[in-house]
Amino acid sequence: MMRAISRSAASLAAIAVAVTLFGCGVRLQDAAEPLPSNALPSPLRIPAPATPAAPSTGPIAESRVSAAPTASRLRVWFVQDDGLAAVESALPVGSSPDLVLQSLAVGPTLDAAQQGLRTIAGDPLTGQALVYVSAPQPSVATASPLATVNASAGPPQSLPSESVASVTVTLSPAFSALPPYEQVLLLGQVVLSLASAGEQSIALVDESGSPVAVPLPDGRLLDAPATARDYASLIVRP
C-alpha cells in the first residue's frame, strides 16, 4: 500500500514539473544535443614570461671585448737638467697645436716634477704662456710618417725646414728676457711637442707677426720655420 502511494506521488511531481516548463516556454527535447563549438568562450591563454638570454660567451664575445679601442696619449717634452725628456701627457693623439702649447705652459705633473722635470713655456710668476698659436692655419700637406713620434723609436723626426710652415707660433715679449740657453730649451719644447702632434714645421714670430730668427742648440740662428730635427740634439730621454 505505501509503495503504491510513493509511485503516485512521484508521477504527480513529474507532471507538475512538465506543466511548469511548458508554461515558461521551454521546449522539451526527447534526447540531449551537444552544444555548438562557439557557445562558450575559448579559455584565456597567458603567455609564458620570456626567459632573458644568457650573456654571450666564446670567441665572438671575447673578440668584441678585446676590440674596444684604447685611447693613445700624446707625448710632450719637458726640461730635464740641460736637455729635454718626453713624457706621456693627458692629451689624446691628434690634439690641436693650441692644446699642446697650453699643456706645456701648465707644466709636468707633480710626480714628473719630483723626478726633476720642469717647463719654460709658462711664466712662473704670472702663469702666462710664453708661446701661443698665432692663428689657426691649415697644414700645407698631410703630415708624413717621418713627422710623427713613434713611442718606441726615440726622438721625433721631421722634414728639413720648409718655406711655408704648418703652424705659426707667437713668442711673447717675455721670451726675449730669458737667458739664451733657456730660450733654446723652450724652443725645443715647442718644436718637438708640436712635431709629436704631427706638425711638420713651425714658424716663429713676435707679437707683431714678424718672423723671428731663433737660436739653435749649436749657437746658430735659424731664420726659417723650425723642425724637430733642428732641436733633436737636446733630447736626453726619448
Tens digits of residue pLDDT in 122-137: 988 887 899 999 865 4
- Residue 50 grid cell: 620570456
Q: Measured between alpha carbons, how far is 238 from 228 in angstroms, rounded to an integer? A: 13
Q: Strand 202-205 vs strand 167-171: parallel, antiparallel, or unpaired?
A: parallel
Residue 8's pLDDT is: 53
What are the two backbone dihedrals, phi and then psi, of residue 237, each rounded to the nearest 5 degrees? -145, 105
CB contact at 8 A, 146 and 126: no
**Of residues 180 and 57, more confidently modeled:** 180
Among 75-84, 129-138, 164-173, top mean pLDDT goes to 75-84
Q: Measured between alpha carbons, how far is 203 from 75 in angstroms, rounded to an integer? A: 21
**Axis crossing angle, helix 180-196 with helix 97-106, rounded to the nearest 10:** 130
Q: Measured between alpha carbons, how far is 173 from 208 in angstroms, rounded to an integer? A: 11
Whole-number average pLDDT of the chain: 75
Radius of gyration of the chain (CA): 45
Q: Is the pTM of this model over 0.85?
A: no
| Cα–Cα separations (whole angstroms), residue 141 to 15, 87, 93, 147 | 115, 27, 18, 11
Q: What is the DSSP letter of 233?
A: G
Percent of the chain at pLDDT exceeding 70: 58
pLDDT at 33 over 90: no
